[in-house]
C-alpha cells in the first residue's frame, strides 16, 4: 500500500475577534475544524472565549491523491462552521518533506488578510493577531513522497531557518535590546521598536531570578522556529510591558 498518516494536535486559539456590532458584540464560541479533502474533524466547542485550550488530536489517512492537496485548519463559531472566521492552509507536499511543523499561526480570511482580534489587556478589538496553535506530523510508509522511514524527519539544521529580522545589542548586564532591523523585518512590521528590551519569549522569561540573562544562543533558539509560525515576545518599552506576536520568516543561513 502507498500513503501514510497525518496527525494534527490542536493545542489552542488566542486573540479571537468578537462577533456582532456595538452593544450586540460578544465573544464567540470557538471551534477548530481540521479538513483534508473529504476527511474532517472538529474540536469540542469553547464558550464565550477569546483564548481557548483544546489539546485534541486528530488523525488522517494519506494517499498519493492527497499529495497535491492542502490541510485546512479553520476557526469558526459554534453553529456557524460554514463561515469560518479565518484559517491556515498547509500544503501536504511540504508537510511530507519536513515531517513536522508546530507553533502559533495567524489565521487569515478568504482574501488572505490576517484576522485581528480582541486583546483582553487593552479591552480593544482588532488589537492583536488571531492565531491557532497546532502540531502537525506526517508519517509515511516509505513509498509515498516525504522522509523515508530510516531517515525520519529532517534534522532541525536542515529545515528552513525562520527568524524575525532583528539585530540585538547586549548592555546593562547582558540585557538584550533591539539595535536595528533587517531590510525586511517581521519584528519591525509587527510593531517592535529600536531600544525595546526583550524580557520573555512565548511567556518564558529570559531573565533569571538573580537578574542574570539566559545565554544569547539559547535566546536565539527560542526565537527561531518553523516558517510561518508565531513567536510571542514580551518587551520592556520605557518601563511598560508590551507583548507582540511576530510571524517568523525565512532568513539566509549564515
* Three-class SS state of 184: coil
pTM of the shown model: 0.58
Of 50, 202, 186, the C-alpha closest to 126 is: 50
Given a contact cutoff of 8 angstroms between Cβ atoms, the answer to whether 241 and 235 are in contact is: yes
59 Cβ neighbours under 8 A, 6+ residues apart: 5, 6, 7, 8
pLDDT in tens, 159-218: 455 789 888 888 877 788 998 888 888 999 899 999 999 999 988 888 887 777 888 878
Summarised one tens digit per residue, pLDDT across range 65-115 is 888 899 999 999 999 999 999 999 999 888 887 788 888 888 988 888 888
Amino acid at each position: 500500500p502507498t500513503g501514510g498518516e497525518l496527525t494534527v494536535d490542536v493545542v489552542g486559539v488566542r486573540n479571537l475577534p468578537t462577533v456582532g456590532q456595538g452593544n450586540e458584540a460578544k465573544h464567540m464560541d470557538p471551534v477548530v475544524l481540521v479538513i483534508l479533502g473529504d476527511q474532517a474533524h472538529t474540536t469540542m466547542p469553547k464558550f464565550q472565549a477569546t483564548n481557548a485550550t483544546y489539546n485534541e488530536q486528530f488523525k488522517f489517512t494519506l494517499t498519493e491523491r492527497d499529495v497535491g492537496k492542502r490541510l485546512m485548519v479553520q476557526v469558526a463559531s459554534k453553529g456557524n462552521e460554514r463561515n469560518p472566521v479565518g484559517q491556515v492552509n498547509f500544503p501536504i507536499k511540504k508537510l511530507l518533506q519536513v515531517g513536522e511543523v508546530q507553533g502559533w499561526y495567524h489565521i487569515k480570511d478568504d482574501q488572505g488578510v490576517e484576522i485581528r482580534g480582541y486583546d483582553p489587556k487593552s479591552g480593544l478589538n482588532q488589537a492583536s493577531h488571531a492565531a491557532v496553535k497546532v502540531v502537525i506530523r506526517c508519517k509515511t510508509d516509505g513509498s509515498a513522497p516525504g522522509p523515508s522511514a530510516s531517515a525520519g524527519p529532517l534534522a532541525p539544521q536542515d529545515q528552513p531557518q525562520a527568524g524575525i529580522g532583528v539585530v540585538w545589542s547586549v548592555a546593562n548586564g547582558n540585557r538584550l535590546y533591539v539595535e536595528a532591523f533587517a531590510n525586511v523585518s517581521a519584528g519591525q512590521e509587527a510593531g517592535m521598536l529600536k531600544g525595546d528590551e526583550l524580557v520573555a519569549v512565548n511567556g518564558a522569561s529570559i531573565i533569571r531570578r538573580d537578574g542574570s540573562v539566559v545565554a544569547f544562543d539559547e535566546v536565539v533558539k527560542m526565537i527561531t522556529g518553523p516558517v510561518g509560525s508565531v513567536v510571542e515576545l514580551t518587551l520592556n518599552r520605557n518601563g511598560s510591558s508590551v507583548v507582540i506576536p511576530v510571524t517568523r520568516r525565512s532568513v539566509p543561513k549564515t
